[in-house]
Amino acid sequence: MTTETERKFLVLTDDFKGQAASQKRIVQGYLSSHPDRTVRVRIKGTKGYLTIKGRSNESGTTRMEWEKEIPVADAEQLLALCEKGIIEKVRYEIPHGQHLFEVDVFSGDNQGLIIAEVELAAEGESFSKPAWLGAEVTGNEKYYNAFLSITPYKMWKDL
């Protein structure tokens, strides 16, 4: 098992697209969206994954993560068992300085939302911020994919 340390940001513009080293379509669902333990099924490009994540620490930057690649056919079958609210997005990978930013452009019920994440080796690690990075939303659970699957972005204006 590993510990994931990341920070999340809103994205101001789509200027990042020209800097992307790659992009992949992602479809994911949750077998469990409980905050103490999320169990996610994902198809990323041509690969399937099963991921379990623990609760985030107080700052929202660090949590336990276990992930295994599974056959895409298995991931497709597991997606059919998931809780309501499948997440659809395109992930752009953008190298910037010494780090890799993953920018998710959501579609479907979360259309209009763009979130960037950067994984860090330690919680206090410094990093260079690209000009297209907006407000930090690290630790704000409404920006977690598990929350977005239950309360999609299109519903937020009603909250």
| 129-152 pLDDT, tens digit each | 999 999 999 999 999 999 999 999
Q: Which domains, ranges and CATH numbers included, belong to the chain?
A: 2-158 (2.40.320.10)
Nearest of 27, 16, 12 to residue 92 by alpha carbon: 16
Separation between Cα atoms, residue 111 and residue 96, nearest integer Å: 25
Task: Give the N- to C-terminal CA distance of the chain in Å, as an integer.
Answer: 36
- The residues near 155 (Cβ < 8 Å, ≥ 6 apart) are 109
Token pair recorded at residue 143: 């920006």
- Three-class SS string for 50-79? EEEEECCCCCCCEEEEEEEEECHHHHHHHH
Residues with catalytic roles: 30
**pLDDT computed for residue 16 by the predictor:** 96
Percent of the chain with pLDDT over 70: 99
Average pLDDT estimate for 15-26: 96
pLDDT digits (tens, 9 = 90+) for 87-115: 999 999 999 999 999 999 999 999 999 99
